Amino acid sequence: MRIGLYGGTFNPIHMGHLRAAEEVREAMGLDLVYFIPAGTPPHKVDGELALAEHRLEMVRLATKNNPYFMISDFEVRRAERSYTIDTLRFFLSSLRQRTEWFLMMGIDAFAELDTWKAADELTTLCNLVVHTRDSGDNLGVSENALGSIKRFQYTKADDHYTNPNGRELYLVKTTYIPVSATAIRRAARLGRSIRYLVPLEVADYISRQRLYRREVTDRDQR
Ligand code: ATP
């Protein structure tokens, strides 16, 4: 089995996440992709974070019609802060059969990998698949991302990279849909339409649950 692990805040999940995951799945021949919403993410603590159960439910709604897409509540169930390294250790120890694991992330996340807890261990435990923006230049690989390649000692091998532990790094060019969760939250807060930026069921859920609708301030209006 080849399994992808795709973590994120998913606050909310949107078409950019979904399309990237679908293209990575196809390009890498993955049998399954687990979407893993973060509990209390170490990098993002602010008032705009929807409750973990809402974010989990939105991921469930968004992925339910794709047989390759699974969800994991591992991080949202944990009382402690969730770090990717803990999630990875959990998944790696959970299945006995031979499984190849691929940790999936966007190029912006990869560029900041050095700031993640136990990042070195992470790259020795698991392969990485980084989806890059098809911007026509250099695979969309920024200076910072090149820094991560060097920092974690990946060297080029055919169509991918390997590190001294034999773990692989793949850069997969995906269609970049310029949607951001931040912009979606803002639109929802202002009562504007978010249809077609997120799956319909997710737009309905956000509207029904009145997510991201805290009082609109003068600053928001500008
Ligand atoms: P925010 O706007 O709240 O920072 P975000 O989507 O950047 O939201 P996450 O939900 O944590 O934050 O992102 C999960 C993963 O999705 C990351 O690896 C990120 O690189 C990737 N990602 C974010 N936006 C897009 C997009 N439009 N297309 C493809 N991948 C994306």
Nearest residue by C-alpha to atom 20 in ligand 1? 106
Query: What single letter denotes the amino acid at residue 116?
Result: W
Give the global pTM: 0.92
55-93: per-residue pLDDT in tens? 999 999 999 999 999 999 999 998 788 899 999 999 999
CB 116 within 8 A of CB 151: no
Q: What is the structure's pLDDT at 134? A: 63
- CA dist 23 and 15 (Å) reads 12
How many residues in the chain? 222
Q: Is 141 part of any domain?
A: yes
Q: Is 215 part of any domain?
A: no
Nearest residue by C-alpha to atom 26 in ligand 1? 16
Q: Is 192 part of any domain?
A: no
Instruction: Report the DSSP beta bridge partners of residue 168.
Output: 162
Ligand 1 neighbours by CB, cut-off 6 Å: 8-11, 16-17, 20, 105-106, 108-109, 176-177, 179-182
What domain count does the chain have?
Answer: 1
Q: Is 68 part of any domain?
A: yes
For residue 100, the domain's CATH number is 3.40.50.620
pLDDT band at 145 (very low <50, low <70, confident <90, very high): confident
Cα 113-118-123 angle, rounded to 5 deg: 65
When mean pLDDT is compared across 48-52, 96-100, 179-183, 191-195, the lowest value belongs to 96-100
Please state the φ and ψ torsions of residue 184, each to the nearest 5 degrees. -65, -45
Q: Is 96 part of any domain?
A: yes
Query: What single letter denotes the amino acid at residue 11?
Result: N
β-strands 2-8, 32-37 pairing: parallel
Q: Is 46 part of any domain?
A: yes
**Domain around 63:** 2-177
In angstroms, what is the span from residue 120 Cα to ligand 1's centroid? Answer: 22
Q: Is 218 part of any domain?
A: no
Count each helix (H run) and each strand (E run) in the chain, helices first.
Answer: 10, 8
Helix H or strand E segment including 2: strand 2-8
| pLDDT > 90: percent of the chain | 78
Is 80 exceeded by the pLDDT of residue 204? yes
| Closest-lying ligand 1 atom to the alpha carbon of residue 178 | 27
Pocket test for ligand 1, best of 180, 186, 189 (most atoms within 8 A of CB): 180
In angstroms, what is the span from residue 96 Cα to ligand 1's centroid? Answer: 31
In angstroms, what is the span from residue 219 Cα to ligand 1's centroid? Answer: 24
- Take residue 99 and report the two structure tokens written for it: 């499984």
Q: Is 8 part of any domain?
A: yes
- Take residue 73 and report the two structure tokens written for it: 């509540």
- CA dist 86 and 98 (Å) reads 20
